[in-house]
Amino acid sequence: AQSVTQLDSHVSVSEGTPVLLRCNYSSSYSPSLFWYVQHPNKGLQLLLKYTSAATLVKGINGFEAEFKKSETSFHLTKPSAHMSDAAEYFCVVSTGGFKTIFGAGTRLFVKA
Amino acid sequence: EAGVAQSPRYKIIEKRQSVAFWCNPISGHATLYWYQQILGQGPKLLIQFQNNGVVDDSQLPKDRFSAERLKGVDSTLKIQPAKLEDSAVYLCASSPGLAGGRNGYEQYFGPGTRLTVT
């Protein structure tokens, strides 16, 4: 069985401060892991993905995530938040080619 | 490159009525997904096609939902009869191959269809 848990439903940061969105997963197989972003009234867009290559993955707009197998985590980080980062973020796990599960989402608020 | 197209964008129906959604994936993409996203929740996979075959429909309420992908290209998702709890955004996505495994293909999402059941 597989599952994904986003540990925070809401995260609020000030502009220019670091961002940390937490994601834990469970999977019986070697997973592929993704982070997608959903801006209001816009479609889902891929930020980054992990597919068993480098454990530190760099994505678009300065985001990166580190795959930690021992902790079954795939946390998303960004050194400095921008107002345009305010959105809903989803952690996604896919295994065996068949099962894709989205987390419940974390809404990121960025204060000026 | 054209993105994933969906229609209609919005639909309002009464409970017990039927409704159909259409999706045209990115050209050449073998895998097509339908998701249901209820307000405040993450998308839930309803059905996944590989070409014109179903590879996962374990979360599709088969007593009222049906989907097909004719000729391995366009797809239609139908609800009959609709219930109030079906109010959600229905998302279609496509990818060159399966999302899991070593390739881990990215999914490309359409704009969604917002369904309101009254």
Per residue, what are the HEC states of B1-68? Answer: CCCCEEECCEEEECCCCCEEEEEECCCCCCEEEEEEECCCCCCEEEEEEECCEEEECCCCCCCCEEEE
Q: Which of B42, B43, B104 sits opposite A94 (nearest CB)?
A: B104
Task: Give the model's pLDDT for residue A19.
Answer: 98
Chain centroid to CA A77: how far?
A: 8
> Is residue B93 packed enough to be buried (19+ CB in 10 Å), middle (13-18) or exposed (0-12)?
buried
Task: Report, as an integer, the average pLDDT of B76-81.
Answer: 97
Confirm or reject contact between B28 and chain A (CB < 8 A). Answer: no
pLDDT of B100 > 70? The answer is no
Mutation pick from B47, B58, B105, B113 vs chain A, by most beta carbons of A within 10 Å, is B105
User: Between residues A96 and B15, which one has the greater pLDDT?
Assistant: B15
Q: A25-29, B57-61, B100-104: lowest mean pLDDT where?
A: B100-104
- How far apart are the C-alpha atoms of A27 and A49, rounded to whole Å? 16
Task: Report, as an integer, the average pLDDT of B62-75.
Answer: 93
Mean of the per-residue pLDDT values for chain B? 93
Percent of the residues in chain A that have a pLDDT greater than 90, as a whole number: 75
